[in-house]
Structure 1
Amino acid sequence: MAYTRGNLAVKPKPNERVSPGYREQTKVVTRRTSLPIREKLLYLVTVISFVAIASLIIWRYAHIYDLNKQSQRMADMITSNKVKISQLEVQRQTLKESVVDIAIKSGYVLPEEASIIHVPRVSSSMESSETKVPDVDTAEK
């Protein structure tokens, strides 16, 4: 039974067919209207602004990542340099202790404690008396 404008008490009318093989078909066609230019520009500006903000944020994160990587490399270099410095300190200490033995083996003698050697300071160039600079002891500097 057909539903006719909200009233079920109405008796439906029988459909008469002219031709038994022909049935009328209706097709719904929807057309999309194009967007106005202002709305298109608004969408374009919105997308461009989102892309710009996203690229700025990504660039900042990449810069921070690069700084962190550089600081890690510097920390690694500092630790390796500290290890090298400690090795060189040990080597310096051993050389400092063995320099007296090597000098004695080479034929040098140790100076006596009571003997003090004074070397006078002499100017290397002969200057005239007008331009002569007085000798200044290095202890006074």
Structure 2
Amino acid sequence: MPIDNARLAPMQPGLSVEELKAALGKSWKEPSLQAEGHLHIDEFGTRITADGRLGEVHFRAPFELPPIHGVRMGMPAEELHRLYPGVERISDEREKYGWTMLKTNLSDTLTLGVGIREDVIRIISLTDPTAVYPERPYKYADPSLTEAYD
């Protein structure tokens, strides 16, 4: 059964993971412990908090969705700058691949992020900067320990 993008489009930080499960239907797959709450499905991604809510969501072109806080997929970068003149550039490893990553705080618990490539918005994300995520087991173990024995 294909994923219903229309049911994923309204996902946002704060929603219960149960709402995400309902939207994904049979495509739902529990994130592994090592994923620290990250879940990626085609052009949609999310990160689930330690208390079972969505802490961030992101959409990548060609995901079809209505405007999010006035920003739409395929929107020219200059329109974004008119809509949010205080948007700030963030350093990101994707810069070496031609991306410009920007963000703006909409409130204390909601940040809007965009990824621009070729002067067009191709990534839209919403993040709760106060969210707490699960950590993978043994995250801080000695990295030089690479083999396990009984």
With the length of structure 2 as denominator, give the TM-score of the two structures: 0.15
Larger radius of gyration: 1
Name whichever structure is richer in helix by fraction.
1
Name whichever structure is richer in strand by fraction.
2
With the length of structure 1 as denominator, give the TM-score of the two structures: 0.15
Structure of greater relative contact order (alpha carbons < 8 Å, 6+ residues apart): 2
